[in-house]
Homo-oligomer: A and B are copies of this chain.
Amino acid sequence: MTTLTPPNDASTTEDPTGFTALESGVRSYSRAWPVVFDRAVGATVYTEDGDAYLDFFAGAGSLNYGHNNPVLKKVLIDYLADDRMVHSLDMFTTARRDFLETFHSLILEPRGLDHKVVFPGPGGANSVEAALKLARKVTGRESVINFTNAFHGMTLGALSVTGNSMKRGGAGIPLVHATPMPYDDYFNGDVDDFQYFRRMLEDGGSGLNEPAAVIVETVQGEGGINAARAEWLRSLAELCKEHGILLILDDIQMGCGRTGGFFSFEEAGINPDIICLSKSISGYGLPMAITLVRPELDVWEPGEHNGTFRGLAPAFATAAEAIRTYWSDDTLEKEILAKGLLIEAHFNGLVSRYPELGLVNKGRGLARGLQMPSGELADKVTTGAFERGLLVETSGPESEVVKLLPPLTITEDELRKGLAIIDEALAAAVA
């Protein structure tokens, strides 16, 4: 057995409260934000000492409607107070029916989608695992195409299609059956879209195993807020169709309105074979995930995929209410796009103000990134922001992108306030 030195976590000075004597050193967010949070409302989080932090992180995209959204909170507390069923696996429940019908009538049907709903388990990785399993079963092939800097989750199947080398290394076994292809703009426009992928598919001697599926994010959140162009997504969908490859759209972080429309791929006008949703689908930060599959792909035997927490009924209740509240019309969508433009304009200002930094303004809707010249500078900015009362994290292969995922319901004032903090933190960092 290799001799490994455990991180001597307990002795670090960062632990304000004794957590680290009890918890694994694998924890990460508490290292960047070493305070103890207690309450949270809307876009504000409060520590146990009463300090307030503005939240441009939103539970990594799980709190699109804000913390403890009052409309959903009422529904949730009522549901619980009435002793309605909480844990239901895949039994029929009234809450589940309400969710299915609401999701169908307000989300799927208006968008011309006829997908069936799989409840794959409580988290996004479950949705991805289910998608991969089904694609392999349907096609009889094993191989999957993923993209550079993709993030799809940390369970073995999901990890195998994730790009980050540190996270991949954690698997402890070789991750196989996936071949990464360049994401949109990977070569800064130097190479035609899908030149490599298309050629590999068409050449019977390329050595590329025939893929069951392609798995893609429309905007790579963990990968650095890389937003694919609509035309790139359309070409990808066509390429898949041409070659009998299933298209899995991982909308876990970018769905539920993050980029404007309910689904992030609406803009591109594509109809993915399989769609993964989680994070904000419950609307309240409760663990819930669904996998949407085109009806002709729904070939599983009963119970061939399952999971203990695939039926958290209170999450169905808040999910249905969130949809009714926010997706009965296009009010929210318009607000998201407007706020997104506000950030974009602001970032353009920063790009101009610091030409020497080569900042890059990234993203769409309310998934926004400001790419710094280095991870070091990005870290200084987010650390400085935290010191000034703003929660914002980095992403990208070198953690070089300041990543903004504010609640979609954030007010314009709050947004401006947070952006001002970023300005200050950046100014201080480069001073």
Give complex CA distance A195, B189 in Å.
12
Q: Which of A95-103, A263-271, A346-354 interfaces with chain B?
A: A95-103
**Are B124's CB and A125's CB within 8 A?**
no
Q: Does A77 contact B (CB under 8 A)?
A: yes
Q: Which B residues are in CB contact (< 8 Å) with A154?
A: 121, 126, 129, 305-307
Q: Does A326 contact B (CB under 8 A)?
A: no
Known: A123-B126, A133-B172, A205-B164. A59 touches B157 (CB 8 A): no
Give complex CA distance A156, B199 in Å.
25
Q: Which of A135-143, A228-236, A358-366, A376-384 interfaces with chain B?
A: A135-143
Q: Does A345 contact B (CB under 8 A)?
A: no
A residues 1-53 in Cβ contact with B at 8 Å: 1-2, 4-7, 9, 16-19, 22-31, 33-41, 45, 48
Q: Which B residues are in CB contact (< 8 Å) with A157?
A: 155-157
Q: Does A91 contact B (CB under 8 A)?
A: yes
- Majority DSSP secondary structure for residues of A touching B: loop
**Are A207's CB and B304's CB within 8 A?**
no
Q: Which of A254-262, A284-292, A420-428 interfaces with chain B?
A: A284-292
Among B180, B186, B304, which residue has its beta carbon within 8 angstroms of that of A170? Answer: B304
Among B167, B186, B190, B207, which residue has its beta carbon within 8 angstroms of that of A162? Answer: B207
Q: Does A166 contact B (CB under 8 A)?
A: yes
Nearest chain B CB to A244 CB, angstrom units? 5
Nearest chain B CB to A257 CB, angstrom units? 17
Nearest residue (CB) in B for A143 is B174
Among B83, B93, B150, B153, which residue has its beta carbon within 8 angstroms of that of A207? Answer: B150
Nearest chain B CB to A141 CB, angstrom units? 8
Give complex CA distance A168, B207 in Å.
8
Give complex CA distance A373, B398 in Å.
47
Q: Does A200 contact B (CB under 8 A)?
A: yes
Closest CB pairs A-B (n = 7): A136-B172, A87-B285, A205-B397, A156-B157, A180-B207, A163-B207, A176-B176
Give complex CA distance A175, B104 in Å.
35
Nearest chain B CB to A375 CB, angstrom units? 10
Q: Which B residues are in CB contact (< 8 Å) with A31?
A: 302
Chain A interface residue count, CB cutoff 8 Å, equals 165
Which of A117, A169, A205 has the most C-beta atoms of chain B within 10 angstroms of its own C-beta? A205
Q: Which B residues are in CB contact (< 8 Å) with A36?
A: 92-94, 97
Give complex CA distance A155, B5 in Å.
29
**Are A1's CB and B140's CB within 8 A?**
yes
Q: Which B residues are in CB contact (< 8 Å) with A90?
A: 26-30
Nearest chain B CB to A110 CB, angstrom units? 15
Give complex CA distance A176, B207 in Å.
11
**Are B177's CB and A187's CB within 8 A?**
no
Q: Which B residues are in CB contact (< 8 Å) with A89?
A: 29, 59-60
Please name 16 pairs of A and B residues whose Cβ atoms are closer than 8 Å in the assembled complex, sorted by A: A27-B90, A30-B92, A38-B94, A40-B84, A73-B83, A123-B307, A125-B126, A137-B172, A143-B174, A165-B204, A166-B204, A170-B301, A173-B177, A180-B200, A187-B199, A204-B397
**Are A33's CB and B83's CB within 8 A?**
no
**Are B163's CB and A180's CB within 8 A?**
no
Q: Which B residues are in CB contact (< 8 Å) with A101?
A: 22
Q: Which B residues are in CB contact (< 8 Å) with A40?
A: 83-86
Give complex CA distance A150, B208 in Å.
11
Nearest residue (CB) in B for A149 is B205
Inter-chain pairs besides A23-B119, A39-B85, 19 sampled, C-beta below 8 Å: A2-B139, A23-B117, A25-B116, A25-B302, A30-B90, A39-B84, A40-B83, A59-B88, A60-B89, A76-B80, A123-B308, A125-B307, A126-B155, A150-B207, A154-B307, A161-B207, A196-B196, A204-B398, A285-B312
Q: Which B residues are in CB contact (< 8 Å) with A162?
A: 207
Nearest chain B CB to A11 CB, angstrom units? 13
